[in-house]
Structure 1
Amino acid sequence: MSDDVRFMRLALALGRRGLGTTWPNPSVGAVVVDPGTGRILGTGATAPGGRPHGETLALADAGADARGAALYVTLEPCSHHGRTPPCTDAILAAGIARVASALEDPDPRVAGRGHALLRQGGVSVETGLMREAAARDHAGHITRVTRGRPALHLKLARTRDGFCAGAGPERLRITGPVADGAVHLWRAHADAILIGIGTARADDPSLTVRLPGLAGRSPLRIVLDSHLHLSPASVLARTARDTGTLVLTTRSAPAHARRALEALGVEIATVPADAAGRIDLPAALAHLGTRGLTRLCSEGGPRLAEALAQADLIDACTLVTAPVELGAAGGLPALGRELTRALASEEFRVAERLRLGPDEAVTYERAI
């Protein structure tokens, strides 16, 4: 393994720690290295809330030693003035001699300008180091900038014979504790969790992160509820002041239901309806994009999953398969026809296979 790859891997690992906490900004990792000795002089990652940026923190960590050093960064340094000065200015002022950047930022305010300004300032710039890994980590930022919506990661659990629920009203527990822990880690790395009103009413979930040390990483909880059927007695409504809860509804929702939920701290937003009176999914995700959300994890049921597939809104899908079977009793199939077709198409590839105790998780990803 080359030193460049080793240092970029560290930068990527630093950036991943902040996933789910930095929106609307990407979680960028940065490492400052002495090119002669290979000694790490400073490290940084985008702070919660999106500022300061990872490059700024890494340069501050390195201090005066940054002069003449190399900077490894997972995304092109910003070149525009926002709430903070451009990272390109900080890099030039610190005297960095070389920048190794994994990925050009598609944000039109940057889009190669950051790299160009550094070169104009006399910095040696190399791009594309571990580009594929960086694109995967920054998929949410890329999707919001290029498609106007957050990247959507669909998660579904199923039995070995393909069911996600039994034939009766009782809730079917499919996966084991190791897989359940993985789900909570995915939640911690998401900006928001999305479910439909059917799941909200059937399961009454909390949708929080319940892993040791990560209790504060619970993401925004979003419910698609065209007629505001979410009960004020539900866990989501009762805990809305502790963990952010957003309900997307339509104009046909009754005003009294809106007032009851808002009194508990639930935020209500109205989005367009489709021809059948249901929430228009592309419009709903576009609305979330305007809010700055970049990484959305869907934990709804197969009906929502199929609707997302029909609307071509799925960017990654993780299927967790347990070694149990329902057999002749049958139940509710986990995968609908359109989702099955999408995952088998050339648009998606198997990106990861994990053994989670007795369960197996396979993640399909759309090419970025």
Structure 2
Amino acid sequence: VITAPDNRIIGEGWHRVYGGPHAEVNAIASVKAEDEHLLPLSTIYVSLEPCSHYGKTPPCSKLIIEKKIRRVVVGMGDPFKEVCGRGIKMLREAGIEVVENVLEKECLALNRRFVTAHTLRRPFIQLKWAQSADNFIGAFSPSGYPCPVSLSNPLSLVEMHRERSLADAILIGTDTVISDNPTLTTRLWPGNSPRPVLFASDRIPAHSAVMARNPIILDPSKSLEENLSDLYSIHKITSLMVEGGAKTLKAFINASLFDEIRVETAPIVISHGIPAPTIPTGLATLIKDREIRGNNIRCYKP
């Protein structure tokens, strides 16, 4: 956001798409011609330190200097190794006033996927499942095979698709592919569908819906940690939703490989089925607890 000396907002912008102009560029471009003369007297507020290097786009710090913007208020520093304080240093060396760490906690929460990926060199990991009131995530058919049960209600399902739209990729286990044949799209919410991620298995039918969506296949000879590192370094995945099934979710929980857990509990009793994962005492902290039309949504962090 860019404000003039009279505190009137004259520009706003955000990073709309990967590889496209950053927030600062879009904010400056949004300033009307009749207000451009105010830029040298203005303040620009950014949630993340302006970049200082040539990557997909030119450095934002250079543009701010060229426009002679008087003051920059930064929510948080950029942990990316190519920036990491260099943007702020560049601005100050050009004589621009910089105020750091304003609403830093809120900005860290806003940028948590980006921060996690660039500091831990693996995607931000959100584990997600829906369970019955008696702690089952699925049922068994009369013939004894696992079968899906609809546990989300229409509104909570829309919210879950919104969560999907925030992830670069979505991982499910082989049994879930076979029993549910999910599409893993964001058909109920605008935005990109996350790219499917699967464990290599000759049991996955070639006609499965996810096979038509160019899935990333994990290397069975590598550890879970190594595969996650590859998702980041090779496939440029910075956020991963892990949606099931029970074995896959338990593997991540047992390895303490998660940054967020979202559990939806429906007022439905299954009596006999596939047990939901459990979160060991002391492993995670409850951060949100709310209801969506009778379904309880709990979110945890490590």
TM-score normalized by the length of structure 1: 0.75
- Once the 2 structures are TM-superposed, how far is the Cα of residue 315 of structure 1 from its aligned partner? 0.6
Aligned pairs (5 A) from 1:117-196: 117-168=90-141, 169=145, 170-196=147-173
- Helix, strand or coil: the match of 2:72? strand
SS of 1:288's partner is: helix
Identify the residue that residue 256 of structure 2 maps to in structure 1: 312
Q: Matches of residues 54-133 of structure 1 in structure 2 within 5 Å?
A: 54-62=23-31, 64=36, 65-133=38-106
Shift of 1:311: 1.9
1:287 maps onto 2:230 in alignment: yes
Task: Work out the CA distance in 1 between the residues paired with 2:25 and 2:284.
Answer: 36
Q: 1:181-220 maps to which residues of 2 (within 5 A)?
A: 181-211=158-188, 214=190, 216-220=191-195
Is the partner of 1:48 in helix, strand or coil?
coil
Structure 1 residues 239-291: Cα deviation after superposition (integer angstroms, max 9, x where no partner): 32xxx4222243xxxxxxxxxxxxxxxxxxxxx33xxxxxx211111011112
* SS, match of residue 172 in structure 2: strand
- How far residue 307 of structure 1 moved from its aligned partner, in angstroms, is 0.3
Query: TM-score with structure 2 length normalisation?
Result: 0.91
- Cα distance between partner residues in 1 of 2:55 and 2:180: 42
Matching residue of 1:20: none
CA shift digits 1:54-98 (9 cap, x unpaired): 111111112624222111111111111223221110111111111
Distance in 1 (CA, whole Å) between partners of 2:104 and 2:63 is 23
Amino acid at match of 1:217: N
In structure 2, distance between residues paired with 1:38 and 1:349: 40
Partner of 2:207: 233
Deviation at residue 39 of structure 1 after TM alignment: 1.3
Return structure 1 stretches of 4+ with deviation > 6 angstroms.
none
Provide the aligned length of Structure 1 versus Structure 2.
293
Alpha carbon RMSD of aligned pairs, Å? 1.7
Shift, 1:167, TM fit: 4.1
Gaps of 5+ in 1: 1-30, 251-271, 274-279
Equivalent position SS for 2:296: strand
User: Which amino acid in the other structure matches residue 220 of structure 1?
Assistant: R
After superposition, give the CA deviation of every residue in 1:321-362 in whole Å (9 maximum; x if it has no partner): 111123xx33222124xxx11xx42x6332323321111111
Distance (Å, rounded) in 2 between the aligned partners of 1:349 and 1:104: 26
Identity %: 30
Q: Report Cα offsets for 1:162-200 as digits up to 9, x if no partner.
A: 111224433222121111111111111111111111111
Residue 148 of structure 1: CA displacement? 1.0
Structure 1 distance, partners of 2:184, 2:65, is 44
Offset from partner CA, 1:124-147 (integer Å, 9 cap, x none) = 211222212211221222122111
Following the alignment from structure 1 to structure 2, what is the Cα–Cα distance between the partners of residues 99 and 351? 32
